[in-house]
Amino acid sequence: MNENNVLKVNSLTVGYTWKPVLWEIDFEIPQGKIVGVVGPNGAGKSTLLKSVMGVVPVTNGSVGIFGQPLDEVRKRVSYVPQRESVDWDFPASVFDVVMMGRYGRLGLLSRPRKADKEVVLDCLEKVGMADFAKRQISQLSGGQQQRVFIARALAQQADLYLLDEPFAGVDAATEETIIRLLRKMSEENKTLVVVHHDLQSVKKYFDWVIMLNVDLVAYGPTETVFTEENIKKTYGGKLTFLSDDGNMIADLYTIQEK
Amino acid sequence: MISFWIILTGALVAVSAGLLGCFLVLRRMSMVGDAISHAVLPGIVIAFLISGNREPLTVLIGAGILGLLTTFIIEYLHKKAKVQGDAAIGVTYTFLFAIGIILLSLFAGQVDIDQDCVLYGEIAYVPIDTIITASGVNLGPKPVYLLGGLLVVILLFIVVFYKQLSLTAFDPGFASAIGISTVIWHYLLMGLVSVTTVVSFQSVGAILIINFLIGPPSIAYLLTGSLKRMLIYTVIIGTLIAFFGYHIAAYLNVSIAGCMAVTTGIIFVISFFYTHYNTRVRKKDLVMNKTSQPVETI
Amino acid sequence: MMQVLIDFFSFSDPNIRYVVLGSMLLAASSAIVGVFIVLKKKALIGDAVSHSVLPGICAAFLFAGSKNIPLMIVGAFISGWLAIVMIDFITRHSKIKKDAAISIILTVFFGLGIVMLTYIQHNGYASQSGLESFIFGNAAALIGNDVIVFSVIAVVLVVIVIAFFKEFTLMAFDEPYAKTLGLPVSRLELLLTTLTVLAVVTGITAVGVVLMAAMLITPAAAARFWSDNIRKIVVISACFGAFSGLAGAFISYMAPAMPTGPWMVVASSCIAFFSFFFAPGRGSVSLWWRKRQHITDLNRRVG
């Protein structure tokens, strides 16, 4: 296996009783890329991230991270779940939540030390939430919540980051902050896999793209892979293309997801 | 003959509670049903105190009011006071039930219920409480007629309002979108649950009524995907439970209501493993070959 | 009445001391564990566990031939534990949802317990009244030895909660994420479950099986309304629990024939309802008042 590959997935199949959610997915991602995962609702995008992270059991197939199984390299992988997967009315402060990202390194019975606190504050700084450290998470806007989640992931100081719909329902300023941060991380040779819902921004944001609809439709560099034909295959051909190539994406009918 | 009346009473309770329980299970409101069955206790005790014992109508009204009150309090705490859902249920019903027990202790002499009865009822005494007409004909136990009447009401309710009930159970969002008030049906359903609880009270007690409310519907839910069939299975399973539960209890000389609960457990276990095994077989199928098409898009 | 109050609170009678201390410890430790249960939205599992310990207690009684507290605690523990495992199993391996699974296990186990109880009653076992006090609780029956046992259990509970505080908090907030960090989520879950069953098993001696759930849920639900900091919530919950324990002990002293459970629940619930409405910050009345002030302010500024 190519040592440069951060994430390699083989024949990954995930399903419930009789309905497959992911079917025989094969791909490899090199280091330092920002990868977008796109597909219609129910295509298995979230499930892909969750099965890589071991949150959802794998029915068949294998996942290799930095050439090893997940359990060996947990410290190098970080997961940002969807914002609504959590009840934000929980009695915790922004600082508390970001500190949770350090728990993997802390071990079970130990207390956070000064170094950990500094990492937390630094990560809050990176997402522009340093002033909100003491704020209750119930008082945050959607965009702020998303930033807290990302700061938590940063606090893990990982090399591979999996983010589930980080741009969903956030304000423009937050979206700017996040993509700028992701690009900086990519320059530092971190790898980012991002589940994304807005086809219009795919070319702008992602070097690579994975196109999914239970099956893997295509993956690879965005310029070569994100074509009209592949988009049609992924979304079942029910899109209307209003102009021909070149400005295609700009005029694309944006998929409204539930 | 006595056993016939007892089994009939049990079956009537099982079917009445079970039919309503189908909708509770589908709407994931089993615990609210549980709460109501506990919370009606103070209402029953007060009604007994006021009416001087065993006056069915007052008891029904009193407890029915309390059942609706419980539902209202839970809704209010959850929606308006922002108390977390299951905590709202827990706090409310334990409070009301505690008050009921305190009232029972305080007025022990004046009320014809004891703590054991609260727990598991005295269905064995049902055949004694009979209706005798002016001409001296023994028509059978009063509770049976009460329960029979209740069952008729429930059947009518379900048949007449089937569309609304099933819609609010499966897709409350859509239901309110087309103008069906989920709130009204919620309260109507809970109101009937309250009444059923109260009427069944002396037969199976407060805590074991939940067994009939949730048990047969859950077993039916495992066995079928159709609401209509679920309702039918519930009736059959409920009756079976009443029948076998009684006989086992008679044999062992133990609580009849308790045995009915255990019987429910046994039938549940059997059904569970049957469907579980079926599912396992299907999952193996999945890995061997793709058994369905990709998800429909847009 | 005055004399009774004075007699009670002088704590000169060692029995009173035992009963008060025992009740307060029980209630406080349940309240602490309850915070995590409520935050995880698993409040009614506490209810299921409480009802489900009955067959275990009865089995122990049958096995020993008479009331044997340590054995009954073990029986209760096994029974409660089994119930939780089964609820989880049912939810995970069938389409039955959590709420229905809880209800089913609750009634089947409790029904089994009642069957055993009536079996014991009808077969003339002499000392069964001790058994019945488990249903609605009888704090007055607490003696010196019991208090020692409960103190130990309470200390163990508190120590474990403090030791694993950050893990329990994270799991209540975002369990899938905890898993991705590599935390031993299932084992931590097991630990919390064990603590819950332990709290229930000791609590039922004072509160009884039927109302035990309230000891887990009510103080925690109330405490949530007084703070947004989980550490403070745990402390406040413990205090509320301890207070209801005290109230229960007092009633038990005044009227030994009455079961204590309901009184502890009533005391706890009153605190809860007060909190829901009048707690500054989150209480409904406080919020309504502030909204009114806000509108008045606005009007003044505009007008």
| A243 vs C193, more confident | C193
Give the residue carrying structure tokens 């802390």: A106
**pTM for the predicted model, two decimal places:** 0.85
| C139 close to A (CB below 8 A) | no
Contact B26, B151 (CB under 8 A): no
DSSP C130-189: HHHHHHH--GGG--HHHHHHHHHHHHHHHHHHHHTHHHHHHHHH-HHHHHHTT--HHHHH
Contact C71, C129 (CB under 8 A): no
C39, C176, C180 member nearest A90 (Cβ): C39
Q: Contact A86/C182, CB-based, under 8 Å?
A: no
Q: Which residues of A touch B285 (CB under 8 A)?
A: 18
Q: Contact A238/B297, CB-based, under 8 Å?
A: yes
**Chains in contact with C, counting 3 or more C-beta pairs less than 8 Å apart as contact:** A, B
| Chain B residues 242-281 with CB within 8 Å of chain A | 279
Q: What is the pLDDT of residue A17?
A: 59
Q: How confident is the model at residue A241 (pLDDT cuts 50, 70, 90)?
A: very low
Token pair for B33? 């049903």
Q: Contact B283/A60, CB-based, under 8 Å?
A: no
**What mean pLDDT is reported for chain A?**
85
B279, B287, B295 member nearest A13 (Cβ): B287
User: What does the alpha-carbon distance between residue C37 and residue C217 come to, in Å, rounded to a whole number?
Assistant: 8
Q: What are phi and psi of A10, to 5 degrees?
A: -120, 120
Rounded alpha-carbon distances, angstroms, from residue B103 to A214, B35, B100, B224: 61, 18, 5, 44
Cα of B9 vs its chain's centroid, Å: 14
What region does A157 belong to: left with phi over 0, alpha with psi -120 to 50, or beta? left
Q: What is the pLDDT of residue C67?
A: 73
B79 exposed, middle or buried (CB, 10 Å; 0-12, 13-18, 19+)? exposed
Q: Indicate if the alpha-carbon torsion angle B265, B266, B271, B277 is positive or negative.
A: positive
User: What does the alpha-carbon distance between residue A48 and residue A215 come to, in Å, rounded to a whole number?
Assistant: 11
B95, B207, B218 member nearest C104 (Cβ): B218
Q: What is the pLDDT of residues C30-55, one digit of tens each?
A: 999 999 999 998 888 888 998 999 99
- The percentage of residues in chain C with a pLDDT greater than 70, rounded to a whole number, is 92
- Which of A16, A108, A193 would best serve as a mutation to test chain C binding (most C beta carbons within 10 A)? A108
| B105 vs C232, more confident | C232
Q: Within a 10 A sphere around the Cβ of B116, how many other Cβ atoms?
A: 17
Token pair for C40? 């995880």
Q: Which residues of A touch C227 (CB under 8 A)?
A: 91
- Tell me the nearest-neighbour CA distance from B72 into chain C, angstroms: 15
Q: Which residues of A touch C39 (CB under 8 A)?
A: 90-91
Let me know the angle formed at the C-alpha of B92 by B90 and B97, rounded to the nearest 5 degrees: 95
Domains of chain B in start order, with CATH, are 2-209 (1.10.3470.10)
CB neighbour list of residue B90: distance below 8 Å, 6 or more residues apart: B35, C43, C44, C46, C47, C213, C214, C217, C218, C221
Q: Contact A156/C169, CB-based, under 8 Å?
A: no
Fold classification of C2-271 (topology level): ABC transporter involved in vitamin B12 uptake, BtuC (1.10.3470)
Nearest to C179 by CA among B15, A104, B77: A104
Let me know the angle formed at the C-alpha of C48 by B61 and B265, rounded to the nearest 5 degrees: 90
Rounded alpha-carbon distances, angstroms, from residue A186 to A35, A163, A193: 10, 14, 11
B184 exposed, middle or buried (CB, 10 Å; 0-12, 13-18, 19+)? exposed
Mark out chain A residues that contact chain B at CB-CB < 8 A: 13, 15, 17-20, 23, 40-43, 59-60, 213-215, 235-236, 238-239, 255
Strand, helix or coil for residue A164:
strand
Let me know the angle formed at the C-alpha of A252 by A251 and A258, rounded to the nearest 5 degrees: 135
Give the residue carrying structure tokens 């908090």: C169
Q: How confident is the model at residue A135 (pLDDT cuts 50, 70, 90)?
A: very high
pLDDT one digit per residue (tens) for chain B, 298 residues: 778 888 888 899 999 999 999 999 998 888 888 888 888 888 888 877 777 655 567 777 777 788 888 888 988 888 888 888 889 999 999 999 899 888 888 887 776 666 677 777 777 666 666 666 656 566 667 778 888 888 999 999 999 888 888 888 877 777 777 777 778 888 888 888 888 888 887 677 776 788 999 999 999 999 988 888 999 999 999 999 999 999 998 898 888 888 999 999 999 999 999 888 877 766 666 555 554 444 332 2
Q: What is the pLDDT of residues A173-193, one digit of tens each?
A: 899 999 999 999 999 999 999
User: What does the alpha-carbon distance between residue B17 and residue B4 come to, in Å, rounded to a whole number?
Assistant: 20
| A162 vs B59, more confident | A162
Nearest to B70 by CA among B49, B48, B99, B50: B99
C286 exposed, middle or buried (CB, 10 Å; 0-12, 13-18, 19+)? middle
User: What does the alpha-carbon distance between residue A99 and residue A103 come to, in Å, rounded to a whole number?
Assistant: 7
Q: What is the pLDDT of residue B292?
A: 47
Instruction: Please state the domain extents for chain C.
Output: 2-271
Burial B130-156 (b: 16+ CB within 10 A, else e): eeeeeeeeeebbebbebbeebbeebee
Give the residue carrying structure tokens 């060996």: A72
Q: Contact B283/A17, CB-based, under 8 Å?
A: yes
**What mean pLDDT is reported for chain C?**
86
Q: What is the pLDDT of residue C164?
A: 94
Mean pLDDT for A19-47 is 88
**Chains in contact with A, counting 3 or more C-beta pairs less than 8 Å apart as contact:** B, C
Q: What is the pLDDT of residue A244?
A: 40
Strands A20-30, A5-15: parallel, antiparallel or unpaired by DSSP? antiparallel
What is the DSSP secondary structure assignment for residue A173, as one 8-state letter? H
Q: Residue A126 pLDDT more than 50?
A: yes
- Which of C105, C107, C116, C287 would best serve as a mutation to test chain B binding (most B beta carbons within 10 A)? C107
Q: What is the pLDDT of residues C165-208, one digit of tens each?
A: 999 999 999 999 999 998 999 899 989 989 999 899 888 888 88
| C176 close to A (CB below 8 A) | yes
Rounded alpha-carbon distances, angstroms, from residue B18 to B32, B225, B236, B281: 15, 17, 10, 30
Mean pLDDT for A60-78 is 89
Q: Which residues of B touch C95 (CB under 8 A)?
A: 221-222
C118, C136, C269 member nearest B258 (Cβ): C118
- Tell me the nearest-neighbour CA distance from B272 into chain A, angstroms: 15
A71, A96, A103 member nearest C183 (Cβ): A103
Q: How confident is the model at residue A257 (pLDDT cuts 50, 70, 90)?
A: very low
> Torsion angle of alpha carbons C77, C83, C87, C88, nearest 10°?
40
Long-range contacts of A248-257 (CB under 8 A, 24+ apart): A249/A199, A249/A200, A249/A202, A249/A203, A250/A200, A252/A199, A252/A200, A254/A198, A254/A199, A254/A200, A255/A40, A255/A197, A255/A199, A255/B298, A257/A40, A257/A41, A257/A197
* Chain A CA closest to residue B294: A214
Q: Contact B297/A236, CB-based, under 8 Å?
A: yes
Q: What is the pLDDT of residue A119?
A: 94
Q: Contact B292/A19, CB-based, under 8 Å?
A: yes
CB neighbour list of residue B64: distance below 8 Å, 6 or more residues apart: B40, B43, B191, B194, B195, B198
Cα of A66 vs its chain's centroid, Å: 17
Domains of chain A in start order, with CATH, are 5-251 (3.40.50.300)
Q: Which residues of C touch B123 (CB under 8 A)?
A: none
- Amino acid in the structure at residue C268: S
| B229 close to A (CB below 8 A) | no
| A165 vs C299, more confident | A165
Q: What is the pLDDT of residue B111?
A: 67
Q: Within a 10 A sphere around the Cβ of B253, how many other Cβ atoms?
A: 11
C130 exposed, middle or buried (CB, 10 Å; 0-12, 13-18, 19+)? middle
Greatest mean pLDDT among A78-87, C1-10, C38-47, C128-137 lies in A78-87
